[in-house]
Structures are given as structure tokens and as C-alpha cells.
Amino acid sequence: MSIDLKNELNKAQYEAVTTTEGPVLVIAGAGSGKTRTIVYRLAHLVEQGVDPAQILLLTFTRKASQEMLTRAAEILGRPLDGTSGGTFHSFAFATLRRNAMDLGFESGFTLMDRADQENAVRDVRAELELGKGDKSFPKKNTVLDLITKSRNKEEPMDAVVQREAYHLSPYVEDLEAIARAYAIFKKKHALLDYDDLLFELDKLLTKNEPLRNQLSTRYRYIMVDEYQDTNLVQARIVKHLVGESGNVMAVGDDAQSIYAFRGANVDNILKFPEIFSGTKIVRLERNYRSVQQILDLTNHILDNARTKFDKELYSDIPGNSVPEVVYPISDQTQAKLVLDRILKLSKKYPLNEIAVLFRAGYQSFHLETSLARLGVEYRKFGGIRFNEAAHVKDVMSLLRLCVNTNDLIAWQRALDHVKGVGPKTVAKIYEALHTDSGGKYLTKMRKKHEALNDLLNELDVIRKSPLTPAGTLDRLISFYQPILTEKFPDDYPKRQQGLDQLAQIATSYQDMDQMLADLSLEGDPDDKEVDEESVVLSTVHSAKGLEWKAVILIDLVEDRFPSRRAVQRPEDLEEERRLMYVACTRAKEHLSLFVPKTIYNRYNGSSEPAMPSPFVMELPNDCFERFHESYSGGIEQRKSASVHAKSPSRAAASAEPKQPSGKPATKLGYCNHKIFGKGKIIAEIGPDKYRINFPGFGLKVIIKDYVELL
DNA sequence: ACAACTAAGGTTTTT
DNA sequence: CCTTAGTTGT
């Protein structure tokens, strides 16, 4: 039985699927059947007689690649045995681990997650005694951001600071020193961070020719999804792996590039044809996801992009659902209105076909409490993750110490519950454990601190008789039990469930390192039985590649979406626009945009007026319907351009603040000032002056000649 | 000298 | 709400 490709695919998709030899670049608009194309290509290759083990599929999440492989197997009617699939990072981890010796890690290495990295930066800075008592010294978070940005963009620190954090210029040398010490720290403690995975793999493939040849021979067919979000190292890795065969397909959409902040480089996708000569370019422009009204709106979002995207999506999905823009009175009442909207939509769609999207994890907080109060189930993506929860990290560090006794970060965490032992003492104990002469000190400390003694004994027992990951975890969780109840008196039962879940996950692993890495590499473990009846709450980033019948976007006001941090530099603002595009293109049939008129400000404890997001302001009136919340609680349709006027006639609406759409602020736009940097022009004062709001500096009146308009 | 406690300041996005 | 700097206590 063979697959009827012609029937299952459109012309462009068919071409992408059947061009199996040589480099192919697929520019796939949102909802254009990108996944379908990859899935069919996988199936097609295997049907043509390609050994599944010769295929490598690199995707953005491991879940995505698993799903594609499963779907391909369904089409084929048999499983794809041996196909490698996963993220760049997970692939790198697996390859590096098989070659740990080559890297200089005789006894393996441990992967650090974000918190580990921050802790390491904190320690290193303390060690170097940099910025003692200097309140404006960048925080570890910021320091780490700059370090990884400099690595991912492969630019020197001073260039990054110059461009993206000019106010930190005085600290450039300190930052460089920390970056160097951080690298040494990792080496010393057999730790690799996310960036190291990629750079070490690149290094390994560059210098180890036999390995490179072995891999490029093995992977005769390589497919890379979301290519617009790869960075320079990732592109080099692809190049290494492709080798002689030249059979590589990159799939992506330049309009959906949303990871520049971590070093992704859109140029990768644009330059792909240069790097792989003879590239065949296929464009998928037909949209199979959304009704035309939604596409009209999303196309408008791109209209105002600085870099124009040569793309206009079209769809012939039947449906007559005009997107709506809803103006709640405040972000607090927004939660209630969103809830009402969800309940209304749930009559038409199952809950898991409804998603609420937002820019940053914390923005769903109000809504979460409302949903919980009403007993509506929800699943949240983005924000705090399972493996970042304190109790999970605690147990994980115990586990890490069983495999890597050099892991200082894990020691710090594991010894945290020992009363009377702080950072300094941990360092001493660590030293004692790693030097022959440390015995006396250790026995002294073991006598002094019973909890320390217990822990070391426990670890010894486990190390002497290694169990399976699940067995080890069971032991450690029992050991941790008393600590859990003491540390989290308020909610330990809930956390206990999390640990049980962790133990459950462990049963599917034979290998401890692998399990540890997976937990860091793949945020949340798969909910075994996904509750079908749960609304989805997600950050826009985490919603990438997903779709729902109904999508609700909240907090579309200035400083939130676009993020306050992104307004300063035009490139960042452009990325926010693409983010907005990604968010809206997730919707198949229904799209609601919520624009609260006021935002609660905890600084002065009151609600303050908020400007609607520029991305909403610039939308033409005819591509959405407008609703305002009335003070009596309901929402009412308002404004001229509406198609129908069925709204209930409550008169209260007239008391509302005016739509700020006509205000000059948005027309005046942004500008650059030599000293204050990027600012938003609020008003024109007289013939030659502007009132400008500079983030970090506040309102200023500046003579026009001194600013550069953007 | 170091750990524990307390008050205040600041919040993007992710592998 | 979660991190961190400053203060108190051992």
C-alpha cells in the first residue's frame, strides 16, 4: 500500500516532500501545513526504502519531534525504528555524552539549568569580590543574560553591552572577568550549560574528523524545523552533519522569528541557499488553519513590520468570525471578562480548544485565581516549571550528587537544610571531600551536624550499590521526606505529589544522566493523562507551533505587550511585533484581543491609565469589532465600523473614558537621544520641543534638534 | 566569621 | 511574589 501524496498534499507541499535529494528550504507561513509536510516527508522517505535510522529530525521541542514521528508511523502503518529526533540541545547532549572522554570529562558531566547557572555566576562574582557594596552592579540574572547573549551571538562582551545595555558600560571589564571565571568554574565542576552543549558539539565535530564523518554518513537525511530560530552555532552544526550527501531540509518562517533575544539569527534562514548551493526553495502560503477574517488581521500586523515579509497568507476555510477587541475597565476586571468569554466559548468548543495567551508568565495570575475559584480546569505553559520547583530541585541535587560528586552547586543545595551550615561551610566541606587530608575536618563536622552525617551516609550507601534511577529516587525521596515537611509546612502535600510524579517519571529511565538531562532540557514532563477538559494558559513563546479553535490574548497594553524592556531598541520592538503575529496566528476560528484601560500599579496601590498596545492601535478599523466594558459589568459593542449592532442597549457606557486613539502620542512615535537613549514622544510642546518619556529617566522636554526621530 | 532573620526593591521570553 | 541587601544573633 502506498501513500497517495498527490491527494494528501497541495502542490508546494508535494514538492517539498518529494524533493528528497539535495538541500531544500521550505518557507512555511503560519498554519500552512508545515508539520504535515515534515510528517509526510518522513513517511515518504521510509517508503522509498530509506532506513529510518538514517534520518535526523531536529525540532524545537522534543514533544514536537515525537509527535511528528508518531504521525509518520501512523501514515506508514509501521513504526520508524531508530530515527533520531529531538532538539539541538538534546541531540548535542546525547552525542557529547557518548564522547565525554574526548571533551576532557573522564567521569561524565552534568547539565546545568538556569538556576544552576545563576548560582554559579553568584559564587564566581563573590569569589572575585567584584562590585562589593555597589548597588548598581548588575544582578546575577542580568550578568548571565549578557554572558549567554555574548556567546550565542558570538560577539565580544563590550559589543553586546554597548548595543544592548549601554548603562552597564562601566562594568564591561568586570563582566568579562566574571564570564571567564564562570567558564573555569564549569570546567572544574564538570558542568555544562545550555550554550556549552552546542559549542562543545561544534568543537567536537570540527576537530574530530572520524566522528564527523561517522555522523554525516549515518544521517543521510536531515530535517530542521523552526530554522528561523537557530543561531550561528546551530547552523554550523547542521553544516557539519550534512556533510557530503547534502540532503538537508530546513523549514521555517522568517516572520515568526521570536528568539533573537537568545541569539537566534534570522540570517540563517535567509542565507541558507548561499551555504548550501543548489538549494531548492519551496514556499507554503496557503493557510489551512484560520478563517480569512483572522488572516486579514494577522496580515495587517505584518504590514507595519520594518522588514517586510514577502508573504500574504490566504485561506478558504469557511467561517464568519470577525476578531474582536475588548476593552475592560482594568486588568482586574479583564480576568472576569475573559472568564465570561471562556464560558461562552465553551458552549461551542471543548475547553482544550480554547487558549489564553500572554507575553509574560505572571500575566495570567488574576485569571488563574478566577478559574480556580470557579473550578475550571486549566493547564499552564511557560512560567514556573515542574523541574524548577524548589522541592524538585532539592531532590534532584541529591540525585546529582550520586553521579557527580564534583557538582558544587548540588552540594550547596543539598546542604542547605543543615542548620548552621551556610555557603562558606559548604565550600569547606566540599574541599574536605575532595582532598585526602580532609578526613579529620569531616569527622568533626559529621559529629557536629547530625543532618550532614545522615546525608553523607545516605549518599555513600547509594553510591556503593547503584540502583535503577527509580530505585535511587525512591530512597532519596524517603530521605527527603522529613526535610520536605519541615521546609514547606503550608503545602507539602501538594509538593509530595510532585515528587511522586518525579518517581513515576523515573521508572521509564535506565540511565540517571539521561533522566537528569531530560528534566533540564524539556521543561515539563508530559502529563500522562492530559485532562481533555482544560483551558490552556500559555506564554506566546510556549505557544509556538500550537493551534486552537479559539484564542484570547490579554494585557495588550504598552509596557506589557510589547514588553517594557523591548521598547528601547527598534529590533526588539520588531521582535515583539512578530511575537504578536505568532500569537494571533494560533487562532483557527475565534480571536479575542483584550486591552485593559487601566493597569494596577503596586507602587502607588492604584490603577493607572494604560495606553493600548501599538499593535492594536494600528489595526485598521474594519478588521475587528470593538467592545467596551460598561461600569455595570457587561460588555457592549461600540463604534462605527461594526458589521452588526445587536448589542444590548445599556446606557451606562457614556461615562467611560474616551478612546485614546486620536491622541498624538502614537503618531509622534519614538526617538533617539544621545544621552537618554530611546524614548517615546508624548507631546509636541511649542514649535521646537517635544515632551519625551525616556525609560529609566522619566519625562523630559527636549529641543527637537537634539533627537533623532525613529 | 558566619548563619539566620528582616525589610525592601523589582518582575520577559527559553533550551 | 521572589530575590537580595542589610542587620542581628550565635
User: In this structure, is the CB of residue A542 within 7 Å of any atom belonging to strand B?
Assistant: yes
* C-alpha to C-alpha distances, A133 to A129, A138, A177, A179, A474, nearest whole angstrom: 10, 12, 18, 20, 44
Per-residue confidence (pLDDT) for residue A372, from 0 to 100: 86
User: In this structure, is the CB of residue A420 within 7 Å of any atom belonging to strand B?
Assistant: yes
Is the CB of residue A97 less than 8 Å from the CB of residue A201? no
User: In this structure, is the CB of residue A336 within 7 Å of any atom belonging to strand C?
Assistant: no
Burial of A386 (0-12, 13-18, 19+ CB in 10 A): middle
User: In this structure, is the CB of residue A423 within 7 Å of any atom belonging to strand B?
Assistant: yes
Longest dimension (CA), chain A: 85
Strand C nucleotides with an atom less than 7 Å from a protein beta carbon: 1, 3-6
pLDDT tens figures, A232-249: 999 999 999 998 888 999
What's the grid cell of residue A233?
552555532
User: In this structure, is the CB of residue A40 within 7 Å of any atom belonging to strand B?
Assistant: no
Per-residue confidence (pLDDT) for residue A650, from 0 to 100: 30
What's the grid cell of residue A422?
551556610
Neighbouring CB atoms inside 10 A of A135's CB total 5
Per-residue confidence (pLDDT) for residue A311, from 0 to 100: 67
**Averaged pLDDT for residues A507-527:** 79
Of A247-261, A278-292, A319-333, A624-638, the poorest mean pLDDT is in A624-638
Distance A247 CA to C3 C1' (A): 49
Q: What percent of chain A has pLDDT over 90?
A: 42
pTM of the model: 0.84
Tell me the nt nearest to A602, Cα to C1'.
B10
Q: What percent of chain A has pLDDT over 70?
A: 90
Is the model's pLDDT at A665 over the cut of 60? no
Distance A488 CA to C4 C1' (A): 21
pLDDT tens figures, A16-33: 999 999 999 999 989 999
Is the model's pLDDT at A640 over the cut of 70? no
Per-residue confidence (pLDDT) for residue A484, from 0 to 100: 86
Which alpha helices (DSSP H) does A488-540 contain, by range? 492-506, 512-521
User: In this structure, is the CB of residue A63 within 7 Å of any atom belonging to strand B?
Assistant: no
Per-residue confidence (pLDDT) for residue A217, from 0 to 100: 94
Per-residue confidence (pLDDT) for residue A661, from 0 to 100: 35
**Which residue is nearest nucleotide C3, judged by alpha carbon to C1' distance?**
A139
**Averaged pLDDT for residues A37-43:** 95
Distance A134 CA to C6 C1' (A): 13
**Which residue is nearest nucleotide C4, judged by alpha carbon to C1' distance?**
A139
Sequence-separated (6 or more) residues with CB below 8 Å from residue A480: A391, A394, A395, A398, A499
User: In this structure, is the CB of residue A601 within 7 Å of any atom belonging to strand C?
Assistant: no
Tell me the nt nearest to A520, Cα to C1'.
B15
Of A157-166, A646-655, A674-683, the poorest mean pLDDT is in A646-655
Phi/psi for A359 (5° steps) reads -75, -45
Residues recorded for chain A: 710
Is the model's pLDDT at A200 over the cut of 90? yes
**Averaged pLDDT for residues A58-64:** 87
**Averaged pLDDT for residues A403-423:** 87
Is the model's pLDDT at A710 over the cut of 90? no
Per-residue confidence (pLDDT) for residue A344, from 0 to 100: 93
What's the grid cell of residue A579?
511575537
What's the grid cell of residue A126?
563573590
Per-residue confidence (pLDDT) for residue A648, from 0 to 100: 34
